A and B are shown apart, each in its own frame.
Chain A
Amino acid sequence: MRRLGTPLVASLVLTGLFLAGLGLGQLTGTIPLPYLGDRASARPTEATLKPSWPVRISIPAIGVRAPVRPVGLADDGTVATPPLSRRNETGWYDRGPTPGQDGPAIIVGHLDTKDGPAVFHRLASLRPGQVVQVTRRDHKVVVFTVDSVETFDKARLPVERIYRDFSRPGLRLITCGGRWVGGETGYADNVVIFASVKL
């Protein structure tokens, strides 16, 4: 015990400091924890596919693994979202292309619910070059690469850029951001991830 004493004390203190530092990094958002799961059968497929509904989305960089279900338009004309009670669910806008077809597939997810964080709460920390994998009903996995991460006033989305680029298979991930104004608006902004299939 005595011979082991000093190294043991030193390693305990160092390990503790390391863990605490990692935790602080997490809290301040400067050191994201490495993502360890879900590297199963993520094989890229050919560039342009036939339609097939998306069923799962995975974003290793921010630890997202979530089911995808179709959504349409809400009563107020906005793209509908999954019910707040299903915090880990995302919604694919079923009036547009499916992921892997030419055109922008749109997937929305909540930033938070009324009492906790939701599936896309770390979406804004994504960086260009990071990947988003979407699994479709036909079991194909489409690998998108993030092109940009942008924030827009919720009342004025850039329609052409988000919905009208059919020149390649694209993906738009949309969640909330900015100031909380409450009422009908909720958060003042939308965070939009622009991603595409790299050939």
Chain B
Amino acid sequence: MGAAPAHAVDVFVEVNPNTIQAGYAVVIRASCGDSVNPGTVKSDAFGEVTLVHQYGFLTATVTVPTNTRPRGYTVKLTCPTGSSATTTLWVVGMPAPTRGPHTGGGWLAVGGGSDRGLGGMTLVGGGLVVVGVGAGLGLLLRRRRAGAAR
């Protein structure tokens, strides 16, 4: 039937999530096209695993060992037919400190906080000046009118 090239498109492998903390698990989802036999997946991040059929795909759940060095790892799918596909799994080794970062110098706490930005102060000041100018002009005009009426 000569349909082999078209089937090559159906061969893929993906890892979810694509980034993981060492010591945690990821799910592999793959397809070997319409091949009946399952493929295997190999990576330096978790070794070798044989996939099982599930929900129309080939899947496996693997755990990345705690001591895995942080970097990107190639994940390679090999199908019984000999075709293959690859993706990348990024492993991070992220310490998770319970204690929060020191993100303050204290200025807002020692009274700096009463000034909530120059913008506000300028607006209030400027606004009051404009009101003053308006009121003054108003008074001046009234006086002139009174003078003219006399």
Write the chain B residue with the least CB distance to A51: B90
In Å, the complex CA distance between A174 and B97 comes to: 13
In Å, the complex CA distance between A78 and B106 comes to: 18
The prevalent SS among residues of B at the interface is: mixed
Interface-lining segment among A36-44, A106-114, A128-136, A137-145: A106-114
Give the contacts of A141-198 with B (CB-CB under 8 A).
152, 154-157, 159, 162-164, 166-168, 174-176, 179-180, 182, 186-187, 189-190
In Å, the complex CA distance between A84 and B88 comes to: 38
CB < 8 Å A-B pair total:
222
- CB-based contact A187/B104 at 8 Å: yes
What's the least CB distance linking B74 to chain A, in Å?
13
In Å, the complex CA distance between A117 and B125 comes to: 21
- Is residue A9 contacting chain B, with contact meaning CB distance below 8 A? yes
Classify chain B's interface size. Answer: 35 or more
- CB-based contact B137/A166 at 8 Å: no
The prevalent SS among residues of A at the interface is: mixed
- Contacts A78-B102, A111-B104, A116-B107 given: A26-B19 contact, CB under 8 Å? no
- Is residue B109 contacting chain A, with contact meaning CB distance below 8 A? yes
Question: In the assembled complex, which residues on chain A have CB atoms less than 8 Å from the CB atom of B19?
Answer: 51, 97, 101-103, 166
One digit per residue, 1 when the CB lies within 8 angstroms of any chain B CB and 0 when it does not, for chain A 16-44 equals: 11111111111111000100000000000
What's the least CB distance linking A113 to chain B, in Å?
4
Give the contacts of B115-133 with A (CB-CB under 8 A).
116-117, 119-133
Question: In the assembled complex, which residues on chain B have CB atoms less than 8 Å from the CB atom of A77?
Answer: 95, 97, 99
14 contacts between A and B (CB under 8 A): A8-B137, A16-B127, A16-B131, A19-B126, A23-B126, A33-B119, A50-B88, A81-B101, A81-B102, A93-B94, A103-B92, A115-B105, A155-B99, A163-B94
> Which B residues have a C-beta under 8 Å from some C-beta of A?
16-21, 24, 70, 72, 88, 90, 92-110, 112, 116-117, 119-135, 137-138, 141, 144-145
